[in-house]
Amino acid sequence: LADEKLSQTIRLFLNVAISFAGSIILFKIMPKFKDMFIRADLKGTDLSKKNKIQIPEAYGVISGAFFLIVTFLFIPLRFYETLAFNKELSHHQFIEYLAALLSIGCMIFLGFADDVLDLKWRDKLLLPTVASLPLLMVYFANINSTTIIVPYPLRPWLGYAMNLGFLYYVYMGMLAVFCTNAINIYAGINGIEVGQSLVIAFSVLISNLIEFNGPFRDNHIFSMYLIIPFIACAIPLFLYNKYPSRVFVGDTFCYFAGMTFAVVGILGHFSKFLLLFFIPQIFNFLLSIPQLFKFIPCPRHRMPKYNPETDLLEPSVVQFYDKDLSKISQLIFKVFRLFRFIRVTEKLDDKDKKLVQYESSNFTIINFYLTVFGPKREDQLTKQLLTLQIICCLIAFMIRYQLSKLFY
Ligand code: UD1
Ligand code: MG
């Protein structure tokens, strides 16, 4: 057993070492690709700046490619004892790792396709579900535990444990869709996509370290084998993407990050805990539902509006007429307005004085934050939202290690 612990430590050390090396190389070579991306028309305009400069977009693909290089190189290192000393290979662990990389690799590819081809909403929901199938199959073959422990208060009715069966697989498939899209729609200011992903990734790493000597040690080591290379590939990207952005990460990165979290959550067996790190993203998703499902008109961009006179970001708005809302849309609109998640002004139409025109801030956490705390400089806004993410992750740890004692 002591032997096994030693080799686990060696493997982790090897993982950290090649991740670190990858990170340094990535940081050095990133600027070199700039012209290549611009020439390939992979570029976007930074909408929140005075000078509307073109910035290379979809840089997440370089990060993702490096992640794959590092994790592929890690495969022989991970099984060095088999290669060097003929020790028996654990097929179970091998397949798990390969399936994880297959799902993440697919997602990087699909994200890049989205950046190049601008996919439709429907596809954005469908693709992560398909990409998570290898993962679910491995879960089925290796683990296939679909039983959940019921919280104390519900036990008189449901018993100690409940087998969710097929529904558990539906839940895991939806987790992949949620993680990928939730990061992609919490976006639009310099550094926020990679920043939030890094905070979540570090939280995952810390929870793995906390559980390192616990009964599920193997699951958490598996998670570390993926999350350490992820962090290593995301940090250089963050350094170029933070305010003022020199590169944009594209949907490629959002999908890559989301899928990595889903993979470690599912195969590492801590998906519920993982979701606790997504509190701001869950809030943003719930807030977005009226626009995502077209109850309220959804413009192409919902990112905050830049005011060149003050150099500050303000809530962006969407305009629509009272008469264009269905009964149910009106109800949703009223509720959101009542709780002040949105700021609304109304006026009478210039021509037809009976028509009421609404101007509502867009339904996102960033705009909500701006309506509450007032206009902000872009770099300040990113810093404050990332601080909020850190606070939420700390709350997640408190819920997991203190509050959950009351329920389990
Ligand atoms: C998602 C959001 C959209 C938001 C956009 C911002 C939903 C349903 N979609 O769309 O509301 O406006 O992300 O990324 O919520 N950009 C900047 N500064 C930044 C980051 C991006 O100006 O810091 C602009 C650039 O013009 C860039 C574009 O946003 O080219 C990228 O948008 P994209 O990722 O393609 O938008 P979606 O993911 O479709
Ligand atoms: Mg995007």
pLDDT in tens, 135-183: 999 999 888 888 888 888 888 888 888 898 899 999 999 999 999 999 9
Chain-centre distance of CA 367, in angstroms?
19
Residues ≥6 apart with Cβ < 8 Å to 398: none
Band (pLDDT 50/70/90 cuts) for residue 210 is very high
132 lines ligand 1 (CB under 6 A): no
Q: Which of 55, 59, 68, 146 is nearest to 102 (CA)?
A: 68
E strands of 5-122, at which residues? 43-45, 54-56
The residues, any chain, with a CB within 8 Å of residue 373's CB and separated by 6 or more, are: 384
> How confident is the model over 271-302, as pLDDT tens digits?
999 999 999 999 999 999 999 999 999 999 99
From the CA of 187, the nearest ligand is 1
3-state secondary structure of 289: helix
Alpha-carbon span 179 to 277, nearest angstrom:
11
Mean pLDDT of 45-68: 95
Separation CA 188–CA 266 (nearest Å): 29
Task: Give DSSP secondary structure letters for 165-204.
Answer: THHHHHHHHHHHHHHHHHHHHS--STTHHHHHHHHHHHHH
CB count within 10 Å of CB 232 equals 24
Percent of the chain at pLDDT exceeding 70: 100
C-alpha 107 – ligand 2 centre gap (Å): 14
Distance CA 342, CA 335 (A): 10
Per residue in 75-126, pLDDT (tens digit) is 999 998 888 888 888 888 899 999 999 999 999 999 999 999 988 888 888 8
Q: Give the position, in ligand 1's atom list, of the atom nearest the Cα of 288.
A: 15
114, two tokens: 């989205």
**Is the Cβ atom of 188 under 6 angstroms away from ligand 1?**
yes
pLDDT value, residue 1:
66
